[in-house]
Amino acid sequence: MVSAYFVPLWQILMWAPQYPEGLEMKIWINTLTGDVKIISALNHYIGMKHIEVAMFPEFGYMIYIVGAIIGTGLVAAWWGTRMGLWTFLLLLLLTGVSALVDFYLWGYDYGHNLDPTAAITIPGMSYQPPLIGTKQLLNFTAFSGPDIGGWIFITATALVAATLLYEHFIRKQKP
DSSP string, 122-167: -TT---PPPSSEEEEETTEEEEEEE-HHHHHHHHHHHHHHHHHHII
Residue 175 has pLDDT above 60, yes or no: no
**Using one digit for the tens of pLDDT, what is the confidence trace for 35-79?**
999 999 988 888 888 899 999 999 999 999 999 999 999 999 999
**Using one digit for the tens of pLDDT, what is the confidence trace for 109-160?**
988 888 888 888 888 778 888 999 999 988 899 999 999 999 999 999 999 9
**Using one digit for the tens of pLDDT, what is the confidence trace for 70-104?**
999 999 999 988 899 999 999 999 999 999 999 99
Q: What share of the chain is helix, strand, coil (3-state, %, to 5)?
A: 55, 20, 30
pTM confidence score: 0.87
Q: How far is CA 141 from the centre of its chain?
A: 18
pLDDT at residue 145, rounded to an integer: 97
Q: Identify residue 91 by its one-letter amino acid code.
A: L
As for how many domains the chain has, the answer is 1
pLDDT at residue 173, rounded to an integer: 63
Strands (E) located in 28-139:
32-34, 133-137
pLDDT at residue 172, rounded to an integer: 67
Query: Which positions ≥6 away from 53 have C-beta within 8 Å?
Result: 31, 32, 59
Range of the domain at 117: 2-171
- Please answer whether residues 163 and 85 qualify as being in contact, where contact means their C-beta atoms are separated by less than 8 angstroms: yes
pLDDT at residue 43, rounded to an integer: 87
